[in-house]
Amino acid sequence: MPIQKEQWDGIENELKSLFATVEFKFNERKITVQKQQIKENKFGLLVFIDGKISLKDMEWKGEQADPLVRQFWRKREKSLFSPSKVAEMTKRMGKKAKAEFISKGGWDKKIIHYDPVFNTASSLVRQFKKIEGLELAEEQK
């Protein structure tokens, strides 16, 4: 049974509490979200797929990573070159060389990885609401 709006509100409120755990089912797999301490004074919401977080899943390498990572973990992108570095290289190389370099896929490249930690309950709920077929594992308190 799909999760209703009132249930999503309850899930978000539960995840805002200090010791939160919410379990979901997705295609016979278990997705667990737990609030845990990730730094000395910082808590985060960790997403476990079948009870574990695998480091090999953080950097997407095609068939090596679990396909559920793309749906349930937070996608992070970082440009290979900062805007100031691009401006500096443009000044040195010229605009014509910049256009040629960009057409070959140079300066606009991004590093993509997936992060199992969400900073806020609202961002996690926003992402999870979009997933078709996601159900609560059992009735939450």
What tokens does 131 get?
A: 């997933």
Inform me whether the pLDDT recorded for 105 exceeds 70.
no
Tens digits of per-residue pLDDT, 6-26? 999 999 999 999 889 999 999
129 within domain boundaries: yes
103 within domain boundaries: no
* CA atoms in the 13 A half-sphere facing the CB of 126: 7
Instruction: State mean pLDDT over 115-140.
Output: 89
Give the per-residue pLDDT at 104. Answer: 65
Higher pLDDT, 100 or 83: 83
pTM over 0.85: no
Give the per-residue pLDDT at 32. Answer: 96
Work out how many domains the chain is built from and give that number: 1
Give the per-residue pLDDT at 54. Answer: 78
**Average per-residue pLDDT for the chain:** 85
CA–CA separation, 89 and 82 (whole Å): 11
Beta pairing partners, 77: 112
Contact (CB, 8 A) for 30 and 51 = yes
The percentage of the chain sitting over the pLDDT mark of 90, rounded to a whole number, equals 48
82 within domain boundaries: no
59 within domain boundaries: no
Place of tokens 């992060």: 115
Give the per-residue pLDDT at 141. Answer: 46
111 within domain boundaries: no
Q: Domain containing 1: what range?
A: 1-52+117-141
Tens digits of per-residue pLDDT, 63-97? 566 788 889 999 888 888 888 887 887 788 777 77
